[in-house]
Chains A and B, each alone.
With several copies, the nearest count.
Chain A
Amino acid sequence: MAASKLGLSAERIARCRSLAREVADGVRRETAKYTTVATERTVLRLLGVDGVDAEEVPIPNRAIESLAAAGKMNRGAAVWMGSALAHGSGGVAEAAARLADRKGAAALTEHPRWRDALLPHVEKGLERIRGNRAERERRLASHPPDERPLLYAIVATGNIHEDLVQAQAAARAGAQCIAVIRSTAQSLLDHVPYGATTSGFGGTYATQENFRLMRAALDSIEDELGRYVRLVNYCSGLCMPEIAAMGAFERLDMMLNDALYGIIFRDINPLRTLIDQNFSRRINAAAGVVINTGEDNYLTTADAVEQAPAVLASQFINERLAKDAGLEDWQIGLGHAFEIDPELEDGLLYEIAQAEAAREIFPDAPLKYMPPTKHMTGNVFRGYQQNALFVLTSVATGQSIHLLGMLTEALHTPFLHDRWLAVDQARTIRTNARHLSEELQFAPEGRIVRRARAVLAEAEALLERVAAGGLFAALADGVFADTRRRIDAGRGYEGVVERDAGYANPFLEAFTHAPAATGVHA
């Protein structure tokens, strides 16, 4: 691990980690008692249940609503799918239909050998995930290692077919990760739309078919580019584990996966989304997916200098929750952003301090560095300048994933040439300043070092406060982003169900015990 440039106190960092552990343990004590409609729908999807009924309502939603109505959800969908199969259902689809039928669900009794009946389907789902992970590692190993930081571009036309064209153009221009922005506020849908979609709201709906189409489109130009193009999407929100499962089935490489984001910024019920997050992160861990967390959102309106400690505290908590869900360091793409006011004296020194601190505190994490938005204006020349300083700071502090900033950030979803200019800028500066991070050191008692220490100290104080009452109390007190979120309020609370004694989730069990596969990773 490179020598520390900031001389941050190892004790204080250890203290933050132990506080984060306390917070995470507190969360787990609470969440372990429950399951949710989304988690159980995900079990069905991992077993192969899919499709929609005549009213376009997804079969998993129908089945789980029916099980819930029959008071059977507390034992977990797996038990009933296994039982239906053991009682003679011909296959997974037939079993799901049986569950989705109100009378059928009510009448269904638990079969003693439900696990044996279910095992082959569980195994088939796990094998599909392992297969995709191996395929990704094979493809990555077939090309030279990627230049860092990885350049991450966004497409968002609302029409998946138009997205394919723009995504290939961005990849050809040099983007190494492509994210299709979800239709805005899809976090709040408690079902996943089905099939290819051609109209969304400021983005394109995340659906399994849209994942499949985009994955194929990017694979088709892999040889031409001589490199594997990573595909990113968003599983945050009420369908967190479901979308994670779809990503695992379609070989998505990265997922926005952050319950804290859903709670604070989408007013989703804290208990619901933290329960779902655990299962979704288990799935992403097994699938070899790199998760991204949404700390950048703290900086998009509130002052980026004041909020820096909250970002760091949130990163410590997210790291611990991720590790508790089986994710390895290389999979935890903690988020932060370049959002300080460009007119602030020494503001660039604070950006460097904060980015370097994240690098040193989370040395093995694929840190995801987000571009300026708050202070971007209609002066597109100033916009291009700020993104140049952003790229240079990213390279100078060894960030891992660099989300490309558009000079027209404040104006519209990116034009083709906006994106080309962004990729050209990042590629050029990444080369021109290739080894800058190895070169730079900071004056021992200088402003940069003092800033980093101050942020760490305030983050520790924040973690002390969160650990004292636990995360749920802290959220209710508005500790994060001055936004109060009670444990019993917000979207999706009604979908939380207590597990009963006989509860079982074979996938959760499999993910919890199976050692994660080694080998080349993203």
Chain B
Amino acid sequence: MKRSVRPYGDKKNDGAVQVSFTLPMAKSALATEAAKRYVSQMGIREPYVTLAESIAPDFTFFVVYGRATHEIDLSAISAEEAPAGALSREEIDAEIARRFGRRLIVLGCALESDAHTVGLDAIFNMKGFAGDYGLERYHGFDARNLGAQVPVAEVARRVREAAADAVLVSATVTQNEIHVRHLTDLVDMLEAERLRDRVVLVAGGARVDHALAKELGYDAGFGPGTTASVVAAFLLEEISRHQGVS
């Protein structure tokens, strides 16, 4: 049964919407008319330009109110459940405490000869990446950043010693596939030490993606633009699955 819905200002289906944007043109009657027509093209009738402000020599900022004509048929959406939003830092910490009752130990390093650490640090340290704070800020994680150029044997030793829950390694230099060699060496070492199944293993780097990492035996791979919050949410679910905790 079609159930269509339109915005509500102060009467059913009045379609009331507010819009704001800047047009790259000097303030003028022409600019205001352009803003009106622009909003009309968005399917908004009776556009009322309440503000036209010159905010830079060739830029005018507009606030426009109007009546949107579109309708949304809710019955068409109800089928696919809308995707849930990303968990916040507080929600992840609360969930770790609830499920595990302890902090999850996460080790990280740049492998073997690789000296690039900025990417890994942006995932690990307090300041994080452009405002998305690093794993150190999460009470739920005991994040230990082992730094640059760490041999695979050292990684295995630290995993055993710390009883780590997860290992995050970064590989940036890719000349003659050096990153593939290093990443594979680590998996082999962990399997040899019968540690592979006790940890969630994650690879990352400017030239790493999920497919490559899975292919090399990792649980996941993260490339450019990755933020700590995405990695934290993944670790919560993956470690829970790994350790049969829910």
Binding site for B on A (CB under 8 A): 157, 162, 166, 169, 172-173, 184-185, 187-189, 201-203, 264-267, 297, 300-301, 373, 377-381, 408, 410-417, 420-421, 481, 483, 491
Other-chain contact of B147, A187, A378, A421, A491 (Cβ < 8 Å): A491
Interface residues of B in 33-74 (CB under 8 A from A): 48-51, 53, 55-57, 59, 61, 63, 65
0/1 per residue, B125-152, Cβ < 8 Å to A? 1110111010011000000010100000
Which single residue of chain B is at the shortest CB-CB distance from A490? B147
Pairwise interchain contact B59-A416, C-beta atoms closer than 8 A: yes
B residues in contact with A380, CB < 8 Å: 18, 50-51, 63
Q: How far is the CA of A266 from the CA of B122 in the complex (A)?
A: 9
Quick one: closest B residue to A379, CB to CB? B51
User: Which residues on B sit within 8 Å (CB–CB) of A417?
Assistant: 20-22, 55, 59, 61
Interface centre among B8, B117, B133 (most CB of A within 10 A): B117
Q: Which residues of A contact B117 (CB under 8 A)?
A: 188, 491
Judge whether B55 and A420 touch: CB under 8 Å: yes
Interface residues as binary, B8-22 with A (CB distance below 8 Å gives 1, 0 otherwise): 111100001010111
Beyond A378-B50, A415-B16, A491-B121, 13 additional pairs, beta carbon < 8 A? A157-B10, A169-B55, A201-B122, A266-B125, A267-B125, A267-B126, A378-B51, A411-B48, A411-B65, A416-B55, A417-B21, A481-B126, A483-B136
A509 shortest CB reach to chain B, Å? 34
Q: From A267, A373, A381, A415, give the contact of B145 (CB < 8 A).
A: A267
| A377 touching B51 in the complex, CB below 8 Å, given contacts A157-B10, A162-B11, A267-B125 | yes
Q: Do A266 and B16 touch across chains, with their CB atoms under 8 A apart?
A: no
Give complex CA distance A376, B21 in Å.
Answer: 20
Asked whether B118 is an interface residue with its Cβ less than 8 Å from the other chain, the reply is yes
* B27 is an interface residue with CB less than 8 A from chain A: no
Q: Does B89 contact A (CB under 8 A)?
A: yes
CB neighbours of A264 from chain B (8 A): 126
What's the Cα separation between A297 and B126 when bound, in Å?
9
- Give, as a whole number of angstroms, the nearest-CB distance from A404 to chain B: 14
A483 and B126 in contact, given A188-B118, A411-B65 (Cβ under 8 angstroms): yes
Q: Per-residue CB proximity of B163-187 to A under 8 Å, as 1/0? A: 0000000000000000000000000
Considering only CB atoms, which chain B residue lies closest to A186 in the complex?
B118
* A416 adjacent to B56 (CB under 8 Å): yes
Considering only CB atoms and an 8 Å cut-off, how many residues of chain B contact the other chain? 38
Q: Which A residues touch B131, using CB under 8 A? A: 202, 373
A173:B56 contact, CB within 8 angstroms: yes
Give Cα A15 to B16, complex, Å. Answer: 53
CA distance A189 to B116 in the complex (A): 9
Roughly how many angstroms separate A377 CA and B88 CA in the complex, as a whole number?
12
Q: Mark B65-108, 1 if CB is under 8 A from A, else 0.
A: 10000000000000000000000010000000000000000000
**Hey, which chain B residues are within 8 Å of A185, CB to CB?**
118, 121-122, 127, 129
Q: How far is the CA of A264 from the CA of B20 in the complex (A)?
A: 40
* A194 nearest CB across to chain B (Å): 17
Write out the residue numbers on chain A whose beta carbons fall within 8 Å of the beta carbon of B22.
415-417
- Which 5 pairs of residues, A with B, have the shortest CB-CB distance? A378-B50, A202-B130, A420-B55, A169-B56, A378-B51
Residue pair A420, B53 in contact (C-beta under 8 Å): yes
Report the Cα distance A421→B22, complex, angstroms.
Answer: 12
B27: min CB distance to chain A, Å: 12
Interface residues of B (CB under 8 A from A): 8-11, 16, 18, 20-22, 48-51, 53, 55-57, 59, 61, 63, 65, 89, 117-118, 121-122, 124-127, 129-131, 133, 136-137, 145, 147
Q: How far apart sit A491 and B109, CA to CA, in the bound complex (Å)?
A: 12
A203 and B118 alpha carbons, distance in the complex (Å) = 14
Evaluate contact between B65 and A201: CB separation under 8 angstroms. Answer: no
The complex places the Cα of A454 from the Cα of B123 at a distance, in Å, of: 36
Closest Cβ–Cβ distance, residue B178 to chain A (whole Å): 17
> Could you tell me the distance in whole angstroms from the C-beta of A335 to the nearest C-beta in chain B?
14
Nearest neighbor of A373 in chain B, beta-carbon distance = B131
Q: Determine the distance from Cα of A264 to Cα of B125 in the docked complex, in whole angstroms.
A: 9
**A494 CB, nearest partner CB in chain B, Å:** 10
Residues of A within 8 A of B11 (CB): 157, 162
Check B125–A265 contact: CB distance below 8 A.
yes
- A-B pairs with beta carbons under 8 Å apart, 22 shown: A162-B11, A169-B55, A184-B122, A185-B121, A188-B117, A202-B129, A264-B126, A265-B126, A265-B127, A267-B121, A267-B145, A373-B131, A378-B50, A378-B63, A381-B63, A415-B10, A416-B22, A416-B56, A416-B61, A417-B55, A491-B117, A491-B121
Q: B121 touching A203 by the CB < 8 A rule?
A: no
Chain A, Cβ-Cβ closest to B57: A172
B118 & A173 in contact (Cβ 8 Å cutoff):
no
Q: Are B127 and A297 in contact (CB under 8 A)?
A: yes
Beta-carbon contact of A412 and B65 below 8 Å: yes
CB pair A416–B8 under 8 Å, yes or no, is yes
Q: When chains A and B are docked, how far (Å) is the Cα of A172 from the Cα of B126?
A: 35
Chain B's closest residue to A173 (CB) is B55
Q: A184 to B61, alpha carbons, bound, how many Å?
A: 29
Residue among A185, A300, A379, A380 having the largest count of chain B Cβ atoms under 10 Å: A185
A379 to B53, CA, bound (A): 9
Q: What A residues does B9 contact at CB under 8 A?
A: 412, 415-416
Bound-state CA distance A45–B209 (Å) is 40
Complexed CA–CA distance, A184 and B224 (Å): 13
Cα distance A202–B227 when bound, in Å?
12
Residues from chain A with a CB closer than 8 A to the CB of B18 are 380
Residues of chain B within 8 A of A172, CB atoms compared:
56-57
Chain A nearest CB from B231 CB (Å) reads: 15
In the complex, A373 Cα to B133 Cα: how many Å? 12
Closest to A483 in B: B126
Select one of A184, A410, A414 contacting B129, CB under 8 A.
A184
Bound complex: CA A230 to CA B85 (Å): 40
Contact A378 B49 (CB under 8 A): yes
Separation of A185 and B132 alpha carbons in the complex (Å): 12
CB nearest to A417 among chain B residues? B61
Closest-by-CB residue of B relative to A482 is B139
A261 to B, closest residue via Cβ: B127
- Assembled-state Cα–Cα distance A185/B59 (Å): 32
**Neighbouring B residues of A297 by C-beta, 8 Å:** 126-127
Taking CB as reference atom, which chain A residue is nearest B224?
A201
Question: Which among B55, B133, B145 has the greatest number of chain A C-beta atoms within 10 A?
Answer: B55
In angstroms, Cα B49 to Cα A415, docked, is: 17
Smallest Cβ-Cβ distance to B51: which chain A residue: A378
Once bound together, how far apart are the Cα atoms of A202 and B9, in whole Å? Answer: 16
A420-B48 in contact given A264-B126, A267-B145 (Cβ < 8 Å) = no
Collect the chain B residues with CB atoms within 8 Å of residue A378's CB. 49-51, 63
Considering the chains assembled together, what is the distance between the CA atoms of A412 and B121 in angstroms?
22
Shortest Cβ gap from A12 to chain B (Å): 30
Q: Which residues of A contact B57 (CB under 8 A)?
A: 169, 172
Contact B121 A188 (CB under 8 A): yes
Give complex CA distance A368, B53 in Å. 30
> In the complex, what residues of A have CB within 8 A of residue B127's CB?
185, 187, 265-266, 297
Indicate if the CB atoms of B49 and A169 lie closer than 8 Å.
no
